[in-house]
A = this chain, B = another copy of it.
Amino acid sequence: MRNPRGTPKARSPQEVAAAIRAAAQSHVAGALAGLISGYHPIDIAFAMRELSGEDRAAVFELLDAAASGVVLEEVDDEISEDLLEATDEGELAEIIDAMPPDVGADAVSLLPEDRQHRILNRIPDDEARELARLLEHSEDSAGGIMTSDVIAAPPDVTAQGVIQHIRRTDVHPEAMSRVYVVDDQRRLIGAVDIAALINARDDQPLQKIMEHDPLSVHPETDQEEVVQLVDKYDLPSLPVVDGHGRLLGAVTVDDVIDVLQQEATEDLAYVAGTSAEDLMTKSSLRSARARVPWLLISLAASFLSAAVIRAFSGTLEQAVVLAAFIPVITAMSGNSGLQSSTITVRSIALGMLKGVSLGAVVLRQVPVALVIATVCGVVAAGAGALILGDPSYGLIVGTAMFCAICVGTLLGSLVPCVFSRVGVDPAIASGPFVTTLNDALSLLIYFGIAAGLLQVLHS
């Protein structure tokens, strides 16, 4: 087996995949092995999704344990599962053993349960126990993204002593950004950044240079909160402790970047009414399967709009021209609601609304709602009068626009907050279901006002 040793070169996945495909088809002995030995394992991982299942398997077989680990970590779960399934258990145990524990646990979690047990049995006891512990935590929690691979030392060890310890043991580089100081019960009492360690005198004990009682989280802390803390305080890594304050592991900054990318994708996917899988898969069927449920739910919601219009068929027959402004009212109520819900969803994600009451969140939006509703109401009234050729229609359209935008804006900030408080992902509030319900509400306002005003004007 040859290990890819190439350095990162900003190659595109398509480019790497094309070269691999050509080498595989050439049937020249060693051509594929020679080629991939020149690539960085991450470049190979990124090319995997562009390759056929057969080419993937051929490439994966040529990688050593370390490179295989990187590839398994980087590819989508769909591809990872295929590769894991095709690899024999002895080799798999070797690959997983070579991975940082948090990454290894992610890989093991993709295996069927009986295979998980057999693999763990082939791994040295200490590490197998570690993996089993990591597997217990929920994927979206601090415990699920932390690594147990941390450097911990007692407070009386010297800076020089820790550096020598690091040299002797085989720790992953990501674990080296911060050394944790623990007491004899392994309770976390301090932290020393690698910078402080290098700047310290050789004989200084850790307790003289450590930051006391560093910020820590519990394994069940949500990953969004972990990201907020690491981002806010620019931490190189965030320790995870159990209920007794004992150090379990740490979340490192590279994991935080992954979570940020994943959460950004998920939030956008919710707004769009699909799932992150839609983005990652190349299968049209999987794409469609991710989208159809949301579309059917919002189709059902849109029948409410149809029902509202049917209910006002008398009004509509009296003035068919009013139909022309149906899409104007629904679009604007939807757009203003989406503005307000998106801002609220993002504020929640950034932790800006912690400790703020529901009332205060909505109240802040009242002046905003009044300003934009007035501007749009006036413009719509003018346009309505002109397009429909009657000032009384302008009055109806303008008043309905004003009310619909006020309602859209205020509900847009209220709904995500309520969702977040009852444990539903607030991003769903910007999604198609809520938006389509908003349509029906705005039509109720529009035709309610139209029916009322037409009666007044014609009496």
Q: Do B294 and A342 touch across chains, with their CB atoms under 8 A apart? A: no
Q: Do A7 and B215 touch across chains, with their CB atoms under 8 A apart? A: yes
Instruction: Given A215-B10, A355-B14, verify A272-B198 contact (CB < 8 Å).
Output: no
Chain B residues positioned under 8 Å from A166 (CB to CB)? 198-199
Q: Do A296 and B379 touch across chains, with their CB atoms under 8 A apart? A: yes
Q: Is A167 an interface residue (CB 8 A)?
A: yes
Instruction: Given A316-B323, A338-B273, verify A347-B305 contact (CB < 8 Å).
Output: no
**Residues of chain A in range 6-26 having any CB-CB distance to chain B below 8 Å:** 7-10, 12-15
Partner of A288, one of B40, B234, B263, B371: B371
**Residues of chain A in range 357-389 having any CB-CB distance to chain B below 8 Å:** 364, 367-368, 371-372, 375-376, 379-380, 383, 387
Q: Is A214 an interface residue (CB 8 A)?
A: yes
Q: Do A324 and B342 touch across chains, with their CB atoms under 8 A apart? A: no
Chain B residues positioned under 8 Å from A306 (CB to CB)? 324-325, 327-328, 383, 387
Chain B residues positioned under 8 Å from A268 (CB to CB)? 267-268, 271, 342, 345-346
Q: How far is the CA of A175 from the CA of B441 in the complex (A)?
A: 55
Stoichiometry (number of copies): 2
Q: Is A292 an interface residue (CB 8 A)?
A: yes
A residues near B, CB below 8 A?
A: 7-10, 12-15, 40, 42, 46, 163, 166-167, 173-174, 176-177, 193-196, 198-199, 211-215, 229-235, 253-254, 256-258, 260-261, 263-265, 267-269, 271-274, 278-279, 282, 284-285, 287-288, 291-292, 294-296, 298-299, 301-303, 305-307, 309-310, 313, 316-317, 320-321, 323-328, 330-332, 335-336, 338-339, 341-343, 345-347, 350, 352, 354-356, 364, 367-368, 371-372, 375-376, 379-380, 383, 387, 405, 430, 432, 435-436, 439-440, 443
Q: Do A326 and B328 touch across chains, with their CB atoms under 8 A apart? A: no
- Apart from A298-B331, A299-B379, what 6 extra A-B contacts exist at CB < 8 Å? A198-B198, A231-B261, A234-B254, A288-B371, A306-B383, A313-B321
Q: Do A332 and B298 touch across chains, with their CB atoms under 8 A apart? A: yes
Q: Do A327 and B173 touch across chains, with their CB atoms under 8 A apart? A: no
Q: Do A198 and B273 touch across chains, with their CB atoms under 8 A apart? A: no
Q: Do A279 and B376 touch across chains, with their CB atoms under 8 A apart? A: no
Instruction: Given A273-B335, A327-B327, A331-B439, verify A231-B257 contact (CB < 8 Å).
Output: yes
Q: How far is the CA of A13 from the CA of B327 in the complex (A)?
A: 42
